[in-house]
Amino acid sequence: MPPKIETRFGRIRVERRVGYGRLYSISMTLLSLALAFLVVALILTSLGLDPIKAFQVIFGVFTKPSLLLESIKQSIPICLAALGLSIAFKMNFWNIGAEGQIYMGMIASTGIVLLHEYYGFFYEWMIMPLMFLTSFLLGGAWCLIPGALKARLGVNEILPTLMLNYVAILIVDFLVHGPWRDPKGYGFPLSIPFPEYAKLNIVLGDPAYTGLLLSILGAAAAFFLLEYTRPGFEIKVVGQSPAVARYAGIHVRSTILLGSFLAGGLAGIGGLSIVSGIIGRLRPGASPGYGYTAIIVAALAGLNPWVIVAVSIFFGGLITAGGALQMSMGIPKAAAQMIQAVIFLMILVGEFIKRYKVTIERPRVGEE
Amino acid sequence: MIEWIESVLGLTIQVGTVYLLASLGEIYAERSGVLNLGLEGIMVMGAALSFIFTLAYGHLAAILISVIAGILMSLILAVMAVYMRLNQTVTGLALTMLGLGLSGFLASPEVRKVILLALNPSLPESLLAIQEAPKLPEIHVPLLSGLPIIGCFFRQNVLVYVSYIAAPLMWFILFKTRPGLSLRSVGENPAAADAMGINVFRVRCLATMISGGFAGLAGAYLFLGFQPFWQEGLTAGKGFIALSLVILSTWNPLRAILGAYLFGGVEVIQYRLQLFGLGALSPYLLAMLPYLAAIAALVAVSIESVRKRIGVPASLGIPYSREE
Amino acid sequence: MEKLVELRGIVKRFPGVVANDRVDFELRRGEVHALLGENGAGKTTLMNILYGLYKPDEGEIYVRGRRVELKSPKDAISLGIGMVHQNFRLVESHTVLENIILGLGEDKLRIDFEKHRRRIMELAERYGWRIDPMARIWQLSAGEKQQVELLKILYRGAEILILDEPTSVLTVQETRRLFEALRRMAREGKGIIFITHKLNEVMEVSDRVTVMRKGRVVITKETRETTKAELANYMIGRPIVFGQKKVSAKLGSIVLKVIDLKVLGDRGYPAINGVSLEVRRGEILGIAGVSGNGQVELAEAIAGLRRPLAGRILLNGVDVTGMDAGKMIELGVAYIPPEGNKLGIVPGFRVVDNLFLKAYRYPPYSNNLLLNWGKMLEKAQELIEEFGIVTPSALSRTSSLSGGNIQRLILARELSGIVGGIPRLIVAAYPTKGLDIGATEFVHDLLLRYKEMGSGIIFISEDLEELLLLSDRIAVISGGRIRGVLAREEADAEKIGLLMSEAVIQAG
């Protein structure tokens, strides 16, 4: 029996819609987006800010080429982390720890660079590949901890992944305030800047293009894994029902460990793209919440790897817009995060309206 | 020596009250089957609003507004997770992000100025740019506050006293009254409660609003009662740690007192160790203690609840619908 | 005779089906009125409407002569209507008392535990029940839990009681006790509606019976004026033939030997407490017993899904005790789980995914890491035709299939040999539960075919007629132990019933 809410206007009844077409789906999503922007406009107006100018800035981020490149650059860590999340969520593993795994990836990459610069380990040409490898491993290991807790002890992964975020951020704080502080950095908590061979500019010498290639490769890998490989199939079955998975002879524990490791690994590479592509060195707060944005992106994209790439660019644009809004209109940077959240909420509401039909029953005359 | 114990104890109570207030409300929400991941966002909003409103009107208004804001924010979660049956984890996170973003936005110097002037046009210029607010005063309970050691329990601010009363009261309501029984039944077996004529949705909605109200109060306390200096990342995951606390306390308000003060104690140790300037141990590493403790607590409970048959509210996180 | 309840012209539609089609029903004071019909006939829907859980699309409800509208169970309860559902709506971790007083508006705020404790014990005594109000629900047996459910509604002064398949979880003794209590209630002037599909019970306890089929009322009769055969006819629409499908098969070597097996249930108590049995190639061993006596745990242990506590399992002479499901699948054990459409498939997956849920890891459907969808789709098409699965395509969502077709899918997956040949041992747990006649016959024929091909089959069912139809031997399980094994020739409902009520036949 669908829930009924009695109101002054009659009974509101909610029932599941039987089926809806693609066009309807897309138009509802756009409507949610429009609604989100309306809410944002209201907030801005109530504070005496010009909403139209603000939206011009936001849209400019996607139309002006230089800003578009910046948006793409910002989208890389989000995209990679979100791809990892698509694997985790498909397995019903609520990885809220992408942020921490990103940080661990950053630590790994920086570590390799420092090993070479300070101690002469490795040859130059080995650095980039090693960075990729270690970011993946360390990010994966960081996610493996809550994964193992879930697999072996049945601990729900939401809180451990979350707690490890704070721990990872503190590890970075510790390193850049301490042993990894750049001696020539005037006392600021920064690592040395990454030398050229450690920068993510293989394609056209620009991190945006290189990163985009990385995103696309990542999406292809995630897609291939889930659709065409045995472990991918097992991940999906475990995600739907561990009981059915066990019945099918699948080792649920090993699958959870694998899935969590892969998810963390991809986020770790996202971390690499930050220190190597966006900032060029390690510093505190290097990730302004990319890992959390990735959750929104993955959810909105319906866990589809290709859609994730596109949605990541949209959110990368929002982050860039946040900076632009601050420069041109003095709107604090926190606005970007707030806008993200409003969009998210509106789209969630849109999802609900897509799936359920809300009708208002007026009491018929004579009936009581 | 006694002064040292008293100061540590007093500080533990001060720090722990944040956790206590937040987890008391959340216990009610989770007992009804709703996981409120928006706790962190509501807390930081409570802190931000109490900052602004204390400057504009004073402490009482600030606390009230924080609680009301908390209730309204959690209403969003209630509508989405309970009525629309959207995924509780995702909606809760969205709420936290909203809270974090909105609070940073409202408390930022530029926006804050606008709001303060709108609320109270007669505010002096100095207050518009200030980054801190007056702290809640300590209220000494006559006679009791003079006692050795125990006395420090009674030399706290008003919100701490609120927590002293709230915890046992909420325990009583939960286990010894009719509405408490209804709440617990909704969380354990919503179908059973529904069949007995209980409105599952309304109960969950109210419980969620209670958790929001308490989270807002906790945020107000964090700022006004503890460290009334606004900065980014003020809450630093305290709301999430409170969630671990709820689990550790096995959803029992009385045990939550112990857990809250335990976590408070861990933080106090962290501060003390920093003061002693343990050279090798960087403050950052020490700051990890609460989070690691939270994980340890979760692990400990997980091993236990396999043996304990009475553990997690059975319907926690699962939206209820009558059809199936 | 006062009419307690009258339902006129009730219509209730769900997407794709008319659950109640202009149904008229009445309940008199002091009578036990059975509502008889197969699964899906619409009985539970009708009663859910009376209890306020559903709202009828058309029709009227009269209680004690007055027209009423029931917006929720609260309204029904206030009118003195109480319902005991098939799956209990009890809070396991709470006490009996807490469950009974749940939702009661009596106490303003504080619960008066003492007062309620006394009242509950008085009430229980009246009907001959011994219940400790402070016991926790998970500590009680199924029969005791049902008593709590009944106490719940009696405590609120219910005069109209609706019981949905109450005996499905009870032993013979508990059923007897229940019927006695019901008759006592009827003598007190209450009216009782008794939903069932068991003809025996209708004849034993009811005063009148209403038969429903496919959403319509077929007939309402005084029980003493009708017979089982007549009712069966009304229920199904054609006479049932009670007999045996005789398929002579040469019984071969022993495929499965279970020695003194002990298996823990979900609650930590032994669900299987020393079971020994054997199955030969080409033999169907039926397992009879009220569900909940360890059948599923036994099946799961054999299938590798549950680790035995003690004892041994030998497959073709090889000790396979404790091996996991994957290994057992490889060794040729097929398991058809109970409630297949809930536990045996992934509803969100496509048909081809579910067909290859176990076989995906074997060549040619995969090599090393990669899946070969081409081969799988090809074979899926074959299986769809061979097993008569009605579906638009192999890529359709499995959740859109009917229950019968989902069962066909599961059978196709388990029995077709895609996992590597004809299964040596088939463990089928309630494979026809919830299926209509056509699907049930399909399952029977299929199993008989595999019996002919030499598979050993363990067939768990609650339906005695089905067991008598198919089995070569019938083992009766009760309380986690085998109470006796009867050969088909010497088995009948009475003997099996006796064994189920825990009287052990010495001959063994």
Three-class SS state of C303? helix
In order of B259, B265, B296, B303, the CA distances from A163 in angstroms are 17, 18, 11, 19
Partner-chain contact C343 A18, CB within 8 Å: no
Q: Where are the beta strands (DSSP E) in A81-235?
A: none
Chain A, 215 to 234: residues with Cβ < 8 Å from chain C are 228-231, 233
Instruction: Please give the single-letter amino acid code of residue C58.
Output: E
Q: Are residues A35 and A87 in the same domain?
A: no
Q: Are residues A22 and A122 in the same domain?
A: no
Reduced 3-state DSSP string for chain B: CHHHHHHHHHHHHHHHHHHHHHHHHHHHHHHCCCCCCCHHHHHHHHHHHHHHHHHHCCHHHHHHHHHHHHHHHHHHHHHHHHHCCCCHHHHHHHHHHHHHHHHHHHHCHHHHHHHHHHHCCCCCHHHHHCCECCCCCEEECCCHHHCCCHHHHHEEEHHHHHHHHHHHHHHHHHHHEHHHHHHHHHHHCHHHHHHCCCCHHHHHHHHHHHHHHHHHHHHHHHHHHHCCECCCCCCCCHHHHHHHHHHHCCCCHHHHHHHHHHHHHHHHHHHHHHHCCCCCCCHHHHHCHHHHHHHHHHHHHHHHHHHCCCCCCCCCCCCCCCCC
For C61, phi and psi rounded to 5 degrees?
A: -120, 130
In order of B241, C146, C153, the CA distances from C96 in angstroms are 35, 11, 13
Partner-chain contact A352 B282, CB within 8 Å: no
Chains near C, with 3+ CB pairs < 8 A? A, B
More confident residue, C35 or C38: C35
Q: Are residues A152 and A260 in the same domain?
A: yes
pLDDT at A53 over 50: yes
Here the tokens at position B10 are 């007093």
Facing residue for B98 by CB, picked from A163, A335, A345? A345
Contact residues on chain A for C346, CB-CB shorter than 8 A = 237, 240-241, 244
Given this model, what pLDDT does residue A365 score?
A: 47
Calculate mean pLDDT across residues B102-121.
82
CB-CB neighbours of B186 under 10 Å: 30
Contact residues on chain A for C54, CB-CB shorter than 8 A = 1
Partner-chain contact C346 A244, CB within 8 Å: yes
Instruction: Please give the single-letter amino acid code of residue C69.
Output: E
pLDDT at B34 over 70: yes
How distant is the Cα of A95 from the closest Cα of chain B, in angstroms? 11
Residue of C nearest to A5 (CA): C71
pLDDT at A178 over 90: no
- Write the pLDDT tens digit of every residue in C300-310: 999 999 999 99
Given this model, what pLDDT does residue A11 score?
A: 55
β-strand pairing of C66-68 with C254-264: unpaired
Facing residue for C54 by CB, picked from A1, A228, A233? A1
Q: Where are the beta strands (DSSP E) in C254-332?
A: 254-264, 270-280, 284-288, 310-315, 318-319
* ipTM value for the complex: 0.85
Domain with CATH 3.40.50.300 in chain C: 3-236, 245-332+423-508
Q: Are residues A41 and A107 in the same domain?
A: no
Beta-carbon pairs below 8 A across chains A and C = 61
Given this model, what pLDDT does residue A203 score?
A: 74
Q: Are residues A41 and A173 in the same domain?
A: no
- Please name the residue that has the structure tokens 């989208």: A75
Chain B, 94 to 153: residues with Cβ < 8 Å from chain A are 94-95, 97-98, 100-105, 108-111, 114-115
How distant is the Cα of A234 from the closest Cα of chain B, in angstroms? 23
More confident residue, B151 or A239: A239
Given this model, what pLDDT does residue B212 score?
A: 96
pLDDT at B58 over 90: no
Given this model, what pLDDT does residue A89 score?
A: 95
How distant is the Cα of C214 from the closest Cα of chain A, in angstroms? 21
Confidence of residue A108 (pLDDT cuts 50, 70, 90): very high
Angle at C13 between CA C10 and CA C19, to 5 degrees: 70
Contact residues on chain A for B89, CB-CB shorter than 8 A = 94, 96, 158
Q: Are residues A139 and A213 in the same domain?
A: yes
Q: What percent of chain A has pLDDT over 90?
A: 43
pLDDT at C294 over 90: no
Cis omega before residue A195 (within 30°)?
Answer: no
Q: Are residues A145 and A203 in the same domain?
A: yes
Confidence of residue B304 (pLDDT cuts 50, 70, 90): low
Given this model, what pLDDT does residue C245 score?
A: 61
Calculate mean pLDDT across residues C30-54.
87
Beta-carbon pairs below 8 A across chains A and B = 142
Cα Rg of chain C, angstroms: 25
Facing residue for C346 by CB, picked from A229, A231, A240? A240
H/E stretch holding C169 reads: none
Q: Where are the beta strands (DSSP E) in C116-190?
A: 160-164
Given this model, what pLDDT does residue B324 score?
A: 35
Contact residues on chain A for C337, CB-CB shorter than 8 A = 247
Residue of B nearest to C156 (CA): B196
Q: Tell me which residue of A281, A271, A265 sits closest to A138, measured CA to CA.
A: A265
Partner-chain contact C89 B179, CB within 8 Å: no
Chain C, 294 to 323: residues with Cβ < 8 Å from chain A are 303, 305
Contact residues on chain C for A4, CB-CB shorter than 8 A = 71
Q: Which fold has domain C3-236?
A: Rossmann fold (3.40.50)
Facing residue for B182 by CB, picked from C89, C103, C152? C103
Here the tokens at position C90 are 């009890």
More confident residue, B48 or B152: B48
Instruction: Please give the single-letter amino acid code of residue A99.
Output: E
Confidence of residue A2 (pLDDT cuts 50, 70, 90): very low
Q: Tell me which residue of C164, C132, C170, C126 sits closest to C148, measured CA to CA.
A: C132
One of 3.40.50.300, 3.20.20.80, 3.90.1300.10, 3.40.50.2000 is the CATH number of C245-332+423-508, namely: 3.40.50.300
Facing residue for C53 by CB, picked from A1, A243, A250? A1
Reduced 3-state DSSP string for A230-250: HHHHHHHHHHHCHHHHHHCCC
Partner-chain contact A167 B241, CB within 8 Å: no
Contact between residue C6 and residue C25 where contact means Cβ atoms under 8 Å apart: yes
- pLDDT mean across residues, chain C: 85
Given this model, what pLDDT does residue A269 score?
A: 95
Residue of C nearest to A234 (CA): C357
Residue of C nearest to A250 (CA): C326
Calculate mean pLDDT across residues A155-164.
92
Contact residues on chain C for A244, CB-CB shorter than 8 A = 343-346, 357
CATH 3.40.50 is held by the domain B2-131+156-307: no
The domain of A299 spans: 76-303
- pLDDT mean across residues, chain B: 86
Residue of A nearest to C54 (CA): A1
Given this model, what pLDDT does residue C97 score?
A: 94
Confidence of residue C389 (pLDDT cuts 50, 70, 90): confident
pTM recorded for the entire structure: 0.83
Whole-number Å distance between alpha carbons of A178 and A117: 17
Cβ neighbours of residue B23 closer than 8 Å, sequence gap 6 or more: B242, B243, B245, B246, B249, B256, B259, B260
Given this model, what pLDDT does residue C135 score?
A: 92
Partner-chain contact C373 A228, CB within 8 Å: yes
pLDDT at C448 over 50: yes
The number of domains in chain A is 2
Whole-number Å distance between alpha carbons of C278 and C290: 21
Q: Among the ranges A7-11, B62-66, C76-80, C478-482, which has the highest mean pLDDT value?
A: B62-66
Calculate mean pLDDT across residues C383-388.
86
Q: Does B79 touch chain A (CB under 8 A)?
A: no
Given this model, what pLDDT does residue C267 score?
A: 65
Calculate mean pLDDT across residues B269-296.
78
pLDDT at A240 over 80: yes
Confidence of residue C1 (pLDDT cuts 50, 70, 90): low
For A344, phi and psi rounded to 5 degrees?
A: -60, -50
- Write the pLDDT tens digit of every residue in A249-297: 899 999 999 999 999 999 999 999 999 988 888 988 888 889 999 998 9
Q: Does C99 touch chain B (CB under 8 A)?
A: yes
Least confident of A188-197, B120-129, C113-122, C311-320: B120-129
Three-class SS state of C16? coil
- Write the pLDDT tens digit of every residue in B229-250: 888 888 888 999 999 899 888 8
Three-class SS state of A8? coil
Partner-chain contact A230 C371, CB within 8 Å: yes
Partner-chain contact A248 C324, CB within 8 Å: no
- pLDDT mean across residues, chain A: 85
Contact between residue A109 and residue A135 where contact means Cβ atoms under 8 Å apart: yes
pLDDT at C311 over 80: yes
Contact residues on chain A for C347, CB-CB shorter than 8 A = 240
Least confident of C378-392, C452-466, C484-498: C484-498
Candidates C320, C345, C399, partner chain A, best to mutate (most A CBs within 10 A)? C345
Given this model, what pLDDT does residue B215 score?
A: 97
In order of B191, B198, B315, C339, the CA distances from C98 in angstroms are 15, 14, 18, 31
Candidates C81, C88, C91, partner chain B, best to mutate (most B CBs within 10 A)? C91
Facing residue for B188 by CB, picked from C93, C107, C109? C93
Candidates C45, C356, C361, C427, partner chain A, best to mutate (most A CBs within 10 A)? C361
Domain-located, residue A56: no
pLDDT at A368 over 80: no
Q: Tell me which residue of B172, B171, B138 sits closest to B153, measured CA to CA.
A: B138
Q: Tell me which residue of C131, C357, B94, B80 sits closest to A296, measured CA to CA.
A: B94
Contact between residue A101 and residue A292 where contact means Cβ atoms under 8 Å apart: no
Partner-chain contact C53 B322, CB within 8 Å: yes
CA C119, distance to chain mean position in Å, is 34
Q: Does C83 touch chain B (CB under 8 A)?
A: yes
pLDDT at B289 over 80: yes
How distant is the Cα of C496 from the closest Cα of chain B, in angstroms? 35
Residue of B nearest to A298 (CA): B90
Calculate mean pLDDT across residues C392-410.
85
Whole-number Å distance between alpha carbons of A90 and C57: 39
